[in-house]
Amino acid sequence: MTRIQVDAVSIHFGGVKALQDVSLEVRKGEVLALIGPNGAGKTTLFNVISAIYQPTSGRVRLEGQDVAGLAPFQLAHKGLTRTFQNLQIFFRMTALENVMVGRNIRERGNLFGYLFGLPSVRRQNADSRLCALELLKFVGLDRYADRPAGELSYGILKRLEIARALALEPTVLLLDEPVAGCNATETAEIDQVIRKVVSTGVSILLVEHDIHLVMNLADKVHVLDRGVTLATGTPQEVRRNPAVIEAYLGESQDEQEPANAES
Amino acid sequence: MLTKALQNPFVSTLAVALIVVALPLVVGSNFHIRLATMVYIFSIVVLGLNLLMGYAGQVSLGHAGFFILGAYSVALGPSQLGLNPWLSMAGGVALTSALAFVIGRPLLRLSGYHLAMATLAFGAIVYVFITNEVDLTGGPDGMQVQRANLSVLGLSHLMSWYWLAGGFLVLSMLILSNLLSSPAGRALRALHDSEVAAGVLGIDVARAKLMAFVISAALAALAGANLALLDGHITPAAGGILRSVELLTMAVVGGLGSLVGSVAGAAFLVLLPQFLTEFHDYEHAILGFLLVVIMVMLPLGIVPSLNAVMRRWLP
């Protein structure tokens, strides 16, 4: 079952062609990794898929349905959410409250009930709190539950963003550099978290510079370079693709860590 | 433990309720009761403004416009439509909320300075309209407000409005405390920190802002109606641009993002000028100086800054 279908998407900013004719497809329970040098258009493509940008041409389909003209919050109601490369955390709320905000679309109620604090709203608050706590435990952050998010470190906030996105119970999750700035232990933990999420049938699009993580996790790899698709296929196919080797690894073959090649 | 309790909006609401109940036992003079009533009335409108600014992060320099619409509704309802004052108050709050709903959509597309300018313009339009519609509103001279109070319960006019304004204040705080601990309140606080993150989590940011705007307008109209009924007379000057600035100052001085801060800010700016009257010509200079000192010493506003100090010193 195709969850996300990107059809010949192009987006231009003034004279800059940030994306040209990019197409991809993600099925249920599949991980697609988007790689490429800085400035290749990975985050731009994320912004198009999550409706933060409207494409100049081409279309994005979610569960077969054209999403042109929808706002990001409407896509969230259809099961698509994302995390951000540069954290977008609610810094003045606690870690727990951050995740509880992710429950928003699952919470039912009306303004009258909210203003007068009806028992149903209190019950629901308790449910959301419980669910948020479980998600914090899932990403290993339960001991930070009541700490203001503004006090927490970068690596912790990366995981907090994932927990918050999972609170929606999404069917499609876009992760923009989920392990950037994380140490080896944290990276391994996030790797485990993503595996568990995928095993529940969630489709994941991943932008990530950590090549080991990409090769381990991804079912398919999509390589972008200067806004165009350079190659696409399984991790093994992409790794052997001469165009990729040249563009992506070429200049610094002698470096041990290909992930550092573009930095 | 103590500091956490102090930050709990329900605890603050209870504290304010106790003050409202206890104050008449302590102060007897009509002058002081009247001042307290004024503090309650201004607290109500500042609470709404604080919801909009301190929680949803949207500025308004036009809330005096909603305030004065509420005030004139209790003047115009009985004189033009023959409605009873209580019904006029309810109608005024409802109509003002409806107006806020209609103008809120386009206004809240703006943010920051642009939103400030647009709301300022809204306040100015209301002020000019009321000042110039002399036949309807009496123009700059204002108009009489039909007397309404709880004398059937054996209360004097002043004590009636003391208890009514105090009651409305406690009710407003309770309602806002409920709202803030609901999903809608969390959505407001979230969009204040990151609209884009709130959006991808499914929150309709425009709708959430509009909700805060309408609630704050309703509270402003309620406060305006209370003031007009207390005074028995209303002039457009009660809702000029300076009033909007004053309301904003109350919210900021008391502390954005703190319900009890709204009450503190209103109390500060209603009461302080009374203490400063003995300085005659220097009154405003001293008031201004004190405001500057407060904002330098307590940059988050009175209540949040004192909370931060206490968090450091208390367990």
Nearest-Cα residue of chain B relative to residue A50: B200
Write out pLDDT tens, residues A67-83: 999 999 999 999 999 99
Residue A207: which of A44, A20, A14 has the closest Cα?
A: A44
Q: Which residues of chain B are within 8 Å of residue A114 when distances are taken between CB atoms?
A: 178-179, 182-185
Pairwise CB contact (< 8 Å): B190 & A90: yes
Pairwise CB contact (< 8 Å): A114 & B203: no
Under 8 Å between Cβ of A121 and A113: yes
Pairwise CB contact (< 8 Å): A164 & B201: yes
Q: Does B207 touch chain A (CB under 8 A)?
A: no
CA distance A104 to chain B (A): 6
CA distance B253 to chain A (A): 20
Number of folded domains in chain B? 1
Does the pLDDT of residue A254 top 50, yes or no? no
Same domain, A40 and A163: no
pTM: predicted TM-score of the whole model, two decimal places: 0.92
Pairwise CB contact (< 8 Å): A168 & B201: yes
Q: What is the mean pLDDT of residues B154-176?
A: 96
Alpha-carbon gap, residue B258 to B252, rounded angstroms: 10
Same domain, A140 and A101: yes
The count of CB pairs under 8 A between chains A and B is: 106
B287-299 residues labelled b (16+ CB within 10 A) or e (exposed): beeebeebbeebe
Test mutation, B200, B207, B222, B311, chain A, max A CBs within 10 A? B200
CATH number at residue B246: 1.10.3470
Same domain, A175 and A262: yes
Same domain, A254 and A187: yes
Q: Which residues of chain A are within 8 Å of residue B211 when distances are taken between CB atoms?
A: 111
Instruction: Pick the last residue of a domain from A104, A136, A169.
Output: A169
| pLDDT for res A245 | 81
| pLDDT for res B1 | 58
Residues facing A233 on adjacent strands? A221
Number of folded domains in chain A? 2
Same domain, A97 and A222: no
Minimum-distance CB partner of A115 among B175, B192, B202: B175
CA distance B173 to chain A (A): 10
- pLDDT interval class at B283 (50, 70, 90): confident
| pLDDT for res B314 | 74
Residue A75: which of B113, B202, B195 has the closest Cα?
A: B202
Pairwise CB contact (< 8 Å): A76 & B201: yes
Pairwise CB contact (< 8 Å): B186 & A168: no
Both structure tokens of A202? 């969630």
ipTM associated with this complex: 0.89
Pairwise CB contact (< 8 Å): B183 & A124: yes
Q: Does B179 touch chain A (CB under 8 A)?
A: yes
A16-27/A31-35 β-pairing: unpaired
Q: Which residues of chain A are within 8 Å of residue B304 when distances are taken between CB atoms?
A: none
Pairwise CB contact (< 8 Å): B201 & A105: yes
Alpha-carbon gap, residue B127 to B45, rounded angstroms: 17
Q: Does B214 touch chain A (CB under 8 A)?
A: no
Q: Does B193 touch chain A (CB under 8 A)?
A: yes
Residue B68: which of B236, B300, B315, B309 has the closest Cα?
A: B236
Domain that holds residue B118: 2-313
Write out pLDDT tens, residues A120-136: 999 999 999 999 999 99
Pairwise CB contact (< 8 Å): A88 & B186: no
Same domain, A261 and A161: no
Test mutation, B186, B188, B196, B222, chain A, max A CBs within 10 A? B186
Write out pLDDT tens, residues B13-55: 999 999 999 999 998 899 999 999 999 999 999 999 999 999 9
Does the pLDDT of residue A141 top 60, yes or no? yes
Minimum-distance CB partner of B178 among A50, A72, A114: A114
Pairwise CB contact (< 8 Å): A93 & B190: yes
Same domain, A75 and A5: yes
Q: Which residues of chain A are within 8 Å of residue B193 when distances are taken between CB atoms?
A: 89-93
CATH number at residue A204: 3.40.50.300
- pLDDT interval class at A248 (50, 70, 90): low
Same domain, A162 and A227: no
Q: Of all residues in chain A, what percent carry a pLDDT higher than 90?
A: 76
| pLDDT for res B2 | 63
| pLDDT for res A240 | 87
Domain that holds residue A200: 1-79+171-263
Same domain, A75 and A133: no
Pairwise CB contact (< 8 Å): A88 & B197: yes
A96-129 residues labelled b (16+ CB within 10 A) or e (exposed): bbbbbbbbbbebeeeeebbbebbeebeebbeebb
Structural domain contains residue A222: yes
Same domain, A50 and A109: no
Pairwise CB contact (< 8 Å): B201 & A82: no
Does the pLDDT of residue B111 top 80, yes or no? yes
Q: Does B182 touch chain A (CB under 8 A)?
A: yes
Nearest-Cα residue of chain A relative to residue B172: A115
Q: Which residues of chain B are within 8 Å of residue A111 when distances are taken between CB atoms?
A: 184, 211
Write out pLDDT tens, residues B200-245: 999 999 999 999 999 999 999 999 999 999 999 999 999 989 999 9
Pairwise CB contact (< 8 Å): B202 & A88: no
| pLDDT for res A105 | 94
Structural domain contains residue A217: yes
Q: Which residues of chain B are within 8 Å of residue A165 when distances are taken between CB atoms?
A: 200-201
Instruction: Pick the last residue of a domain from A116, A150, A169.
Output: A169
Does the pLDDT of residue B141 top 80, yes or no? yes
Does the pLDDT of residue B3 top 90, yes or no? no
| pLDDT for res B308 | 87
| pLDDT for res B310 | 86
Q: What is the mean pLDDT of residues A228-232?
A: 91
Q: Which residues of chain A are within 8 Å of residue B7 when distances are taken between CB atoms?
A: none
Instruction: Pick the last residue of a domain from A169, A196, A220.
Output: A169
Sequential DSSP letters for chain A: -EEEEEEEEEEEETTEEEEEEEEEEEETT-EEEEE-STTSSHHHHHHHHTTSS--SEEEEEETTEE-TT--HHHHHHTTEEE--SS----TTSBHHHHHHHHTGGG----HHHHHHT-HHHHHHHHHHHHHHHHHHHHTT-GGGTTSBGGGS-HHHHHHHHHHHHHTT--SEEEEESTTTT--HHHHHHHHHHHHHHHHTT-EEEEE-S-HHHHHHH-SEEEEEETTEEEEEE-HHHHHH-HHHIIIIIGGGTT-S-GGGTT-
Both structure tokens of B250? 């109350």
Same domain, A131 and A258: no
At B159 the three-state DSSP class reads: helix
Same domain, A230 and A109: no
Q: Which residues of chain B are within 8 Å of residue A102 when distances are taken between CB atoms?
A: 201
Pairwise CB contact (< 8 Å): A117 & B178: yes
| pLDDT for res A250 | 58
Pairwise CB contact (< 8 Å): B194 & A105: no
